[in-house]
Amino acid sequence: MAAHSRQLAVAGVLLAVLCWAGNALVARAFAGDIPPFALAFWRWTLALAIILPFVAGALWRHRGDLRHAGWRLLLIAGFGIAGYNTLLYSAAQSTAAINITLVNTCIPLMTVIAAGLLLGEWPARRAWWGMALAVLGLLVLISRADWQTLAQLAFNRGDLIMLLAVVDWALYTVLLRRWARYLAPIPPLALLGAFMLLGVPLILPLYLYELSSGAQMLATPANLAAVGYTAVFASLVAYLGWNHGVKVLGAPTAAMGNYLMPVFTAILGWILLGEGLQAFHWAGGAMIFAGLLLATRPQLKR
C-alpha cells in the first residue's frame, strides 16, 4: 500500500509539472494579448467557479478545521494562489522563454534549502548527486549542447521577478508540509477550494490597478481558451497532484520534479508546434530522468 501511495504521489507530481509546462507556453504565447494580472485573476476565478459547487458542502462541514488552520491557510494561499503565477505572468512580459526556464529550475534547490531550514529535512547524499546530474542535464537542454550559449545569456528585470516567484513557490511547498497536521483533516479538493477562496481576493487589487492603467484582456476565443486551460489544467489538475505529492513524498523530493519542466516543454513544442526534437533534447532529458531516479528512489534505513 505504501509503494502504491508513493507511485500515485510521483504520478501526481509529474502530471502537475506537465500541466505547468503548458502553462509556461501559454504565458509566453499570450504575453502580448493578456495582461499578467488579468490572466492570474480570471484563471483562479474560473477555477473557483468550477470547483465551488463540488466543495461547498465539505467546506461547511470542515469549517471548524478551517478556523483551526486560520492564518496558515491565508499565508499558504498568498504564496501558492496569489503569488507564484502572478509573478510568473509578470516575468513573461519582459524576459525570454529560456530565462524563465533557467530561473524556474532553481525551485528544487530553493525548496531543499527552505525544507532544511524550516523542517529539518535535509536530503541524503545520494539526492545531492541526483540533483547535480539533473542540473547538468538541464544545462545541456538550455545550452543546446553548446556551452557558448550559456555565456551569452543576459538577465533583466523579468528574471528578478522570476527569482521572486521561485522563492515564493519554495515557501508554498514547504509550508504545505510544515502545517500538514492542520490541513490533513480537510479533503484535498475542499482544501484547494479554500486556498482559492482566500487567494482570489488577494489578486483582485492588482487586477483593478492593471485595469485602471488601461491594460485589458479582449474576450477573443483564443484568449478565453488560454484562460480555460490555465484554470482547469494548470490550476485544478496540477495543484491537486502537486499537493498530494508534497504530502506523501516531502517537499524536497516533490520539488525535484521541476527539473522536468524543460523536457515536457520541449515535448509539447514538438507535439503542438511541430518543433523537432534534437539530440541534445534526448541527452539532456535522459540525464534529468537519471538524476531524478537517483535522488527520489526510496532510501534504505540509515
Whether the model pTM is above 0.85: no
Q: Are 234 and 19 in contact (CB under 8 A)?
A: yes
Mean pLDDT comparison of 13-27, 134-148, 249-263, highest-scoring range? 13-27
Q: What distance in Å separates the CA atoms of residue 288 and residue 296, rounded to the nearest whole number?
A: 12
Judged against a pLDDT cut of 70, whether residue 186 lies above it is answered with yes
CA 18 to chain centre: 10
Q: Return the pLDDT at 41.
A: 95
Looking at every residue in the chain, the average pLDDT score rounds to: 81
Q: What is the 3-state secondary structure (H, E, C) of 231-259?
A: HHHHHHHHHHHHHHHHHHHCHHHHHHHHH
Question: What does the block give as the cell for 146?
Answer: 553548446
In the chain, what percentage of residues exceed pLDDT 70? 75
Sorted by where each begins, the domain ranges of the chain are 1-296
Confidence of residue 262 (pLDDT cuts 50, 70, 90): confident
Q: Return the pLDDT at 301.
A: 40
Q: What distance in Å separates the CA atoms of residue 137 and residue 67, rounded to the nearest whole number?
A: 45
Q: Which long-range contacts does 122-129 make (Cβ < 8 Å, 24+ apart)?
A: 123/252, 123/253, 123/295, 124/299, 124/302, 126/294, 126/295, 126/297, 126/299, 127/252, 127/253, 127/256, 127/294, 127/295, 127/296, 128/295, 129/294, 129/295
